């Protein structure tokens, strides 16, 4: 957990995955970066340019082979083969298939401990004892001190967020200032400093020192929609609710660094391009029927996946508690969305004592109609995959949460998490009502009539309206937001250039997910680290030490 966290009020508040994130390392594939060069003219960020930095990350960051202790994995692999997806052992291999069922690598050391980026890059004694490095945990940057011309940063105003030292301190910049405050914090810091859109800053009384219209714009995120099957508890993370199982797994982790506590919650993930999915069979075609080209060629930008199905053997329905159910999730996710949001500043509410402008997040959840079409196909493909898994799996695998289900029951589950008895985050609510299951359950492999004459929905019989109604209830952010200070060739199209300098500044750079010109078809941790490594190399080159 972070030492300090600042909550952000939001418009359309983003709901997020209800679990601590795995440290999953995925590079994003060759075509994604080539598309940055092709579509945006960013030749310095093609796959050829960034691949060496991904290689260096893999050399530095501990990465263990998948710890496959969950019993569903072999049947997931079999189901993937049936729907046309190859099993790919190394998701970061440059010649890996564009589409497939991928083994997930996580940054875990030999003792089974998660290797966060802080632990890898900042905690080693050799780093902390570097004479020209000072780490100030708990200090928050409030704004940048700019020269009158708005072309140079002279320092950073910072404050101790713990309240121990109430005064704001100006940290003078001798050479450069590199902002790494993230997709929300970076545009916030720039705008608080007078760098950003005039129409955003002037109404708040912030003097515009350097106008850049794209600061805070182009917010993009992966949006997820859970589909869940009910399977035996022993094959899910829910098995840790059994005290005996938890004790055994804890011993495995403490002694050998193995077992469920050292395993990824997402042992497999499916990456698919929606145009390669056959509408009649919901299977993946190896060749495009119109062009005859391979849909598996990862160097072809036409094959960049826009759908991910994360296989996560646990309940992923936000923070809802579903009594007496052990579930596995087929987490359908849009990884190349068209929808765009924005980070803005707004005046604080009348109840707030502090007059400092606050962050307002306009979240990009299906605001572009093109995303609805991809989402519907993703949901049908997820249901199809759940059906095939049930065919391969030797136990019951009833599709319990999916489009077409009893919405009254779904609503009661979602509403229960906000009712009386809700406790602090991370604690199980008390007094959770005993919610009865709908009398008609859905079976993914059958379209027979239920007890009340209601047809059991499958991917073939579910309607677009049913998919839409379900998705509006269950959507969540995958916490992969990017692009609020995107890279571009000119200030008219973005915020930083190819050397990550803010347009119009001599000594201000940005190195975080906000600079991505487009969101990668991947979890964003590895691409963010790649950006940091690449910028480090650039700085050394410019200093004549590269």
Lookup: tokens for 368: 């572009």
| Nearest CA among 224, 215, 228 for reference residue 312 | 228
Q: Is 214 a catalytic residue?
A: no
3-state secondary structure of 104: coil
**How many alpha carbons lie under 13 Å from residue 375 in its C-beta half-sphere?**
30
Lookup: tokens for 366: 């299906």
- In the set 210, 235, 480, 503, the catalytic residue is 480
d(CA 519, CA 32): 9
If DSSP states are collapsed to H, E and C, what string results for 522-545?
CCCHHHHHHHHHHHHHHHHHHCCC
Confirm if 16 and 477 have CB atoms less than 8 A apart. yes
3-state secondary structure of 274: helix
**How many alpha carbons lie under 13 Å from residue 79 in its C-beta half-sphere?**
27
d(CA 380, CA 289): 21
Confirm if 112 and 262 have CB atoms less than 8 A apart. yes
- In the set 210, 214, 235, 523, the catalytic residue is 523
Lookup: tokens for 63: 């990465």
Confirm if 446 and 477 have CB atoms less than 8 A apart. no
Q: Which residues are known to be catalytic?
A: 480, 523
């Amino acid at each position: 957990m972070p030492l300090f966290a600042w909550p952000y009020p939001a418009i359309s508040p983003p709901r997020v995955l209800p679990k601590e994130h795995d440290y999953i390392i995925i590079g994003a594939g060759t075509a994604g970066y080539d598309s940055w060069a092709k579509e945006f003219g960013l030749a310095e960020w093609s796959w050829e340019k960034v691949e060496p930095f991904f290689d260096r990350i893999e050399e530095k960051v501990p990465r263990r082979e998948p710890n496959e202790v969950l019993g569903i994995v072999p049947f997931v692999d079999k189901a993937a083969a049936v729907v046309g997806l190859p099993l790919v052992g190394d998701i970061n291999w440059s010649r890996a298939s564009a589409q497939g069922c991928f083994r997930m690598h996580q940054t875990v050391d030999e003792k089974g401990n998660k290797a966060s980026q802080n632990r890898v890059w900042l905690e080693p004694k050799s780093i902390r004892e570097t004479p020209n490095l000072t780490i100030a945990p708990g200090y928050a940057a409030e704004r940048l001190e700019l020269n009158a011309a708005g072309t140079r940063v002279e320092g950073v105003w910072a404050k101790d967020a713990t309240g121990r030292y109430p005064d704001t301190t100006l940290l003078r910049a001798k050479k450069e200032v590199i902002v790494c405050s993230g997709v929300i914090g970076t545009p916030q810091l720039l705008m608080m400093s007078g760098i950003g859109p005039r129409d955003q800053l002037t109404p708040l009384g912030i003097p515009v020192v350097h106008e850049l219209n794209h600061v805070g714009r182009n917010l993009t995120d992966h949006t997820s929609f859970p589909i869940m099957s009910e399977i035996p508890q022993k094959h899910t993370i829910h098995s840790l609710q059994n005290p005996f199982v938890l004790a055994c797994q804890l011993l495995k982790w403490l002694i050998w660094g193995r077992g469920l506590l050292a395993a990824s919650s997402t042992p497999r993930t499916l990456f698919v391009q929606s145009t390669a999915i056959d509408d009649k069979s919901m299977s993946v075609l190896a060749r495009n029927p119109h062009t005859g080209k391979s849909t598996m060629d990862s160097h072809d930008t036409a094959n960049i996946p826009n759908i991910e199905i994360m296989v996560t053997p646990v309940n992923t329905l936000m923070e809802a508690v579903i009594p007496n159910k052990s579930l596995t999730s087929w987490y359908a996710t849009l990884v190349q969305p068209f929808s765009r949001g924005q980070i803005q500043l707004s005046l604080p509410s009348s109840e707030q004592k502090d007059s400092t402008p606050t962050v307002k997040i306009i979240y990009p959840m299906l605001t572009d109609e093109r995303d609805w079409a991809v989402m519907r196909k993703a949901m049908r493909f997820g249901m199809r995959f759940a059906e095939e898994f049930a065919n391969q799996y030797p136990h019951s695998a009833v599709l319990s949460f999916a489009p077409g289900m009893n919405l009254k029951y779904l609503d009661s589950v979602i509403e229960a998490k906000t009712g009386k008895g809700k406790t602090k985050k991370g604690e199980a609510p008390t007094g959770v009502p005993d919610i009865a299951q709908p009398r008609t359950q859905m079976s993914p492999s059958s379209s027979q009539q239920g007890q009340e004459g209601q047809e059991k929905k499958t991917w073939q019989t579910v309607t677009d309206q049913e998919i839409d109604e379900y998705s509006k209830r269950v959507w969540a952010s995958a916490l992969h937001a990017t692009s609020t200070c995107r890279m571009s060739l000119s200030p008219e199209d973005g915020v930083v250039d190819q050397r990550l300098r803010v347009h119009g500044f001599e000594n201000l750079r940005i190195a975080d997910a906000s600079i991505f010109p487009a969101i990668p078809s991947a979890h964003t941790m590895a691409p963010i680290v790649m950006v940091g490594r690449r910028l480090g190399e650039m700085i050394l080159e410019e200093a004549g030490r590269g």
